[in-house]
Structure 1
């Protein structure tokens, strides 16, 4: 019997492919003639997994993962935007990556930090020691550091590449690892999506986006806008964020691609401060009373606000069958205003720059070859003013007006030579020149600028035994210059605010071997590495010269660190609907030497990094549209200070997600619910390393909920 005439929706699901839904119209003649069938063209898109995945972060040239002699992870759009995700920061997506520790300070707000193999582990907020790129535009300023990880629309991210380990050969200063985020580009079929979420502690979020193509496919577009707010788990931890992002890709011909991005973010965040161990254990929702100002019997908040635009233009042009050139320019203005006890700190800067890259795949004799060379330029002028807070006795008074900045340029070359069909030799080198300038406009003295120059090499070998299995080894060097704020004080007895001319950059030397592959329904990776860090700078106290009294802190090179570790990950498709995935990281990081003043911490473990860090996830998605997942994060105990006298307790956190994707007329609807910290584990994820007054801990919520609805059409 033929079916009723009408519009039907079919869902195709296959192991190793992304599920797809298509609409089918069936017509049946009034006489009942005909068989009531309709032809359906249902093509499934392969999920980008395995060694054929093309990556850019490790080579800046678009090489296949199986040929790259480095530890690199690729996080897919399905993991990033999967049903039940809050998409408020990077933490949900990156906790699945071995060798990386991402920490959420306030539970879903913007204050997260990232550490890769220890790089960035002591940072209190934002990015330091690693490179974060969004569509190729650096979040780091020219000096290497980055602020809160705002202006990042996770619900529009297509993929994230994480290069684990030193990357100065390609990215220069402060590149102990790379996180490269790529946003969506519109597909052939126009798509609109609206998502509404709500949850515990006043969490509410609305997000909308549209993607598609125009002018016969010559233009692809993405546009999104969002609003997020929450009261927060702890006192004085409320948060709000409003923003938009857009991306246009224009292909005027088959040899050229022009990509433009523009985004804006307005973010407000109160900071509740860190707690003592006793407060963490007994009153975790408390705010740090020592970090707030009380005026006329009323405690003032620490609410700060940020505005940031991001503009970028990228032009790719194929010159010949073997040559391609790419040029990118970017301009990122940013302004912040935040209180600190009786003072306001106002800062504005512009992160601007350009880079040019040339790729040639011309063979070298009978050997296949890929050669990449390029030039990077970046400049960041920064103005920072500290003034008295309204209502205080110092209202309107200027305490400091810093006029600072950094300018950097780097030249690099990387060659990938196919010695054999299955063997690739990679070698690269880069030269960097970084110039810091700074002046306190309230002081008559002139501070001399500081320039750092470095050459960093890399060599690696990859053996691809089969199309689905490869092994690699590499040696590389990296460096990390001090950031602008660390250079303000010199240890010389001439006084404070004299640009530090003594401290040297941290140098990292890395040896690494690894393997990756796939067999049947399973994929895996395993890496072993050893690193040595020389000239690690630390803060040391110095006496102020007479007639002044007291002490001030300045940066000196006082430590050397040895590190070795193991990073593993695996994924197994148990059935067409059920997938098991997990990672495990072992980190043994210790000071080979650390003598500063009266302190001798030689032999102590590096604070902030757990020896054991594991993640496991069981995901479910069936042909009826039912989705779900349960994930477990297990983090071992780690030290919170260089003296190794205070520890952060080990913790295990279990999260649960459940959703249902179904057709409703011409739309696809997906209600979902998520339960985080299912067993209400008491834990602190992002501690304050070497904190004053014993205030190390930033407690996160016990069991908490979120629910929402996503509608796409």
Structure 2
């Protein structure tokens, strides 16, 4: 396997990077970021590992449904498409979030300054509107701690502002497995008011059995400047998924027999036997709506910013929990049904003053979040019929509150950039149990932690910066991680938050006139790491491990080569292990869900008029363990090759675009994502074989 991985990585590097030090046409452009320092800042001069995924990459011959396609180009980040729209993407940053059985945990999600993660840290990448995206900023390492609980990494989406003459853009695309999408976006600016309105429908029959989905998404944004020194932004979005099928994971034997098939239900009496997903009709419906307002007021170099948001999320999910398990008094049934109201606010003040020959920028603020769930659980059978809403088994109200004051200061002078920060996170979780037949689970648990940050950057030359940073991190259990203890009995009030110490050192350099290189070394020591205890049928409980250790290196290279050719390389090598034994886990076992190495490479070409382009991409990963004990078969390493072609024509007020994409050109069979620690050993979620996408868009400017 080691030799196979080495061959995969070498092949990917050759494919993507070409000859890295030949004459170039132009230097890669530095970008201005907001994430990390909370003020506009050159990414080159920020003492942190941060990458920007621009609109060109988000739109690179993609349907703009899954952020994982664009995020694959970011080192330190693993973004997996589960081929399961009931469970959303799996995103981890330096190993944080890899344990998530659904949604995003351990990584903070933000869209236009408004959290896409709930106050408990649980996030849904599906709420990102990629059709209106302008860029995504991805922050890893110690600086993420300044975003509070669950910030092992931070992924921040910025949507476009409405500008210029009104225009309407319609895109239609389709591909393998009955996949299709239609989108329409209108934008413009009138009398100082910018607007963006987008709506889309995505449908797929699904690559895996029982994985069909329909997703309706809408988004609106208004920007206005009430005065020359102020700006207000209003956003609203909605995501609706009705009866999204859940294919579940499969065992290694089933995966080897048929990658697209589901796991057969041994208790099924039908001939031929149906899969668990078919028999229980596992599915999930989501109705998510939210809106927010942010306002900036400048007073010279100083700035006051406030943001408020609110929304509602309704979910009903049918799991594959066996009937005999649900009849136990300690269980909560096989159907989850909750109605969540949430809101929050952030208020901060930025002050800039001259100090010691430089400039001191200080931000002081407070971040508040609140959510309230009316939650019920039901049996997923009526009589002998499975997959139907049965008797009530759980009825409770869940409340989460978070309150985080923070302070961040940055001094720039000469060749130095010095940063310090402090954030105090407080989170409370309350349960009011109204179903007392299985005991009273009412109660409250509180978590709190102070996270300090220090960073330093030194400009050795105008084209070479070195930096180092350190911070302490805090990851409290999410509401979903607290729901079950052991085999499913009761609320897990004994679960402790994970605490971590982060160290990072790196360089940022321009090489010649055509290339930019970012490299970082990092180490994270964590105590009370949250790990999977028991997982099965869609229900997962968690426990605390002892200590874990993550040590690794990240490298990214961007080059503008000759004659319109450019290259991108993003590579991560990481040793993520349990640093002390616990239960049946021995020291130095690998953390499940975390690859030892992964790589993205791209070689792209655009003609001088930018009307035609093409690219070859490579994505490679080492094997990934599936359980804490490292006993079961790991997902093997792989390397896949993708290709795309794009064209564009301008015809008066019309702008036309077309694309064709071919993924997995060699038809590689591999596991695309994992359900870590599944108690029934149904860990594996297969990735598609060779598949295609094609699309057409027409934009008219009035």
* TM-score between both structures, scaled by the size of structure 1: 0.86
Q: Secondary structure at the residue paired with 2:256?
A: helix
Q: CA deviation at 1:363?
A: 1.6
C-alpha separation in 1, matches of 2:26 and 2:382: 58
Matches within 5 A, 1:177-216: 177-215=153-191
Which residue of 327, 335, 342 maps to 2:314? 335
Which residue of 574, 595, 598 maps to 1:613? 598
1:567 aligns with 2:559: no
- Aligned partner of 1:284 in structure 2 is 259
Classify 1:312/1:123 alpha carbon distance in 2 versus 1 (closer, same or farther; 3 Å).
Answer: same
Q: CA deviation at 1:339?
A: 1.2
- Aligned partner of 1:67 in structure 2 is 45
- Aligned partner of 1:227 in structure 2 is 201
- Aligned partner of 1:483 in structure 2 is 478
Which residue of 611, 618, 622 maps to 2:607? 622
1:99 aligns with 2:93: no
Q: CA deviation at 1:606?
A: 1.1
RMSD, aligned α-carbons: 2.5
CA contact (8 A) 2:142 2:453 kept: no
CA contact (8 A) 1:169 1:428 kept: no
Matches within 5 A, 1:337-376: 337-341=316-320, 343-376=334-367
Which residue of 630, 644, 653 maps to 1:644? 630
CA contact (8 A) 1:415 1:426 kept: yes
1:321 aligns with 2:295: no
Higher Cα radius of gyration:
1
C-alpha separation in 2, matches of 1:284 and 1:292: 22
Q: Secondary structure at the residue paired with 1:92?
A: helix
1:438 aligns with 2:431: yes
CA contact (8 A) 1:166 1:508 kept: no
CA contact (8 A) 2:280 2:318 kept: no
CA contact (8 A) 1:55 1:63 kept: yes
Q: Secondary structure at the residue paired with 1:93?
A: helix
- Aligned partner of 2:501 in structure 1 is 509
Which residue of 114, 125, 139 maps to 2:102? 125
CA contact (8 A) 2:99 2:532 kept: no
Classify 1:511/1:233 alpha carbon distance in 2 versus 1 (closer, same or farther; 3 Å).
Answer: same
Q: Structure 2, unaligned stretches of length 5 or more?
A: 1-24, 324-333
C-alpha separation in 2, matches of 1:57 and 1:168: 9
Q: Secondary structure at the residue paired with 1:247?
A: strand
C-alpha separation in 2, matches of 1:257 and 1:675: 43
- Aligned partner of 2:287 in structure 1 is 307
- Aligned partner of 1:698 in structure 2 is 685
Classify 1:490/1:202 alpha carbon distance in 2 versus 1 (closer, same or farther; 3 Å).
Answer: closer
Q: Secondary structure at the residue paired with 1:299?
A: helix
CA contact (8 A) 1:656 1:674 kept: yes
Q: CA deviation at 1:371?
A: 0.6
C-alpha separation in 2, matches of 1:87 and 1:555: 33
Q: Secondary structure at the residue paired with 2:667?
A: coil
CA contact (8 A) 1:168 1:479 kept: no
C-alpha separation in 1, matches of 2:236 and 2:269: 41
- Aligned partner of 2:3 in structure 1 is none
- Aligned partner of 2:588 in structure 1 is 603
Q: CA deviation at 1:705?
A: 1.0
CA contact (8 A) 2:585 2:628 kept: no
CA contact (8 A) 1:294 1:300 kept: no
Q: CA deviation at 1:281?
A: 1.7
CA contact (8 A) 1:516 1:524 kept: yes
1:632 aligns with 2:646: no
C-alpha separation in 1, matches of 2:540 and 2:189: 56
- Aligned partner of 2:18 in structure 1 is none
Which residue of 429, 439, 442 maps to 1:447? 442
C-alpha separation in 2, matches of 1:555 and 1:340: 18
Classify 1:558/1:227 alpha carbon distance in 2 versus 1 (closer, same or farther; 3 Å).
Answer: closer
- Aligned partner of 1:465 in structure 2 is 460
CA contact (8 A) 2:306 2:345 kept: yes
C-alpha separation in 1, matches of 2:304 and 2:381: 53
- Aligned partner of 1:546 in structure 2 is none
- Aligned partner of 1:26 in structure 2 is none
| Structure with greater contact order relative to length (CA < 8 Å, sep ≥ 6) | 2
CA contact (8 A) 2:422 2:451 kept: yes
Q: Secondary structure at the residue paired with 2:562?
A: coil
Q: CA deviation at 1:150?
A: 2.1
Classify 1:472/1:554 alpha carbon distance in 2 versus 1 (closer, same or farther; 3 Å).
Answer: same
Q: CA deviation at 1:396?
A: 3.8
CA contact (8 A) 2:27 2:514 kept: no
- Aligned partner of 2:657 in structure 1 is 670
CA contact (8 A) 2:84 2:246 kept: no
Q: CA deviation at 1:688?
A: 1.3
C-alpha separation in 1, matches of 2:565 and 2:269: 55
Which residue of 197, 201, 219 maps to 1:245? 219
Moved beyond 6 Å, runs of 4+:
107-110, 291-298
Q: CA deviation at 1:117?
A: 0.4
1:528 aligns with 2:521: yes
C-alpha separation in 1, matches of 2:472 and 2:214: 41
Q: CA deviation at 1:629?
A: 1.1
C-alpha separation in 2, matches of 1:385 and 1:292: 27
Which residue of 371, 387, 395 maps to 1:380? 371
